[in-house]
Amino acid sequence: MLTTRLPGHVEPYKLAARDEHLEGLMALDAFARLTEAVGPQQGDVEVWLDFTIDAQGRRVIQGRLRAELQLPCRRCLTPMAQRVESEFLLGMVTSDALAAELPSTHEPVLVENEQLNLLTVVEDELILSLPQVVYHDEADCAVSRDQLTSGEEAAASAAPASSPFDVLRHLKGKS
């Protein structure tokens, strides 16, 4: 189990030159964009990173992350625990133009002034690894299928009466 904390920034060229391995935790509540996408999170993401210079001379990071997130059920919107895991291969670039030269197997990460924002990198990977939709099992969900079906029927039968076109027709008929 990981116990150390990862820094928010690292010097990736030095780490790559030394073939360094970094591993540690980052607090999930530090990721504002993740919170915006799926709601507030607690706990940590576990991250493993291998920095190296590959055979083509590219500075790369091979990474893996794992977290337990609270994602809203698409049906009842109640958060449910969901394990998220991801592996990724990053190529360091110093400009957007250089990113285009990377092979498609590598995701570009921008290194500015020899600094890499690890917080941004890990948050990007977390967001990319989110499942499209999550549902409770029907038995556990606050909204059962029956409720959902009758709700839809109710909405369908109520719709014509409240249609603005009906109101308009009604007014025209009177004048």
Interface positions with Zn ion (CB under 5 A): 73, 75-76, 136, 141
Q: Which residue is nearest to Zn ion (CB)?
A: 73
Distances (CA, A) of 45 to 62, 69, 85, 87, 114: 16, 9, 10, 13, 25
Backbone angles phi, psi at 95, to 5 degrees: -155, 160
Least distance between Zn ion and beta carbon 68 (Å) = 17
Cβ distance to Zn ion smaller for residue 66 or 136: 136
Cβ proximity to Zn ion: between 75 and 106 the closer is: 75
Torsion sign (Cα): 7, 4, 47, 71: negative
Q: Using the minimum distance from each CB to Zn ion, give the nearer residue, 133 or 159.
A: 133
Name the one residue in this structure whose structure tokens are 């073939």: 19
Shortest Å, Cβ 174 to Zn ion: 46
Q: Give min distance, CB of 58 to Zn ion, in A.
A: 44
Q: Nearest approach, Cβ of 144 to Zn ion (angstroms)?
A: 9
CA distances (Å), 149 to each of 44, 76, 96, 138, in order?
Answer: 38, 14, 49, 13
Residue among 99 and 134 whose Cβ is closer to Zn ion: 134
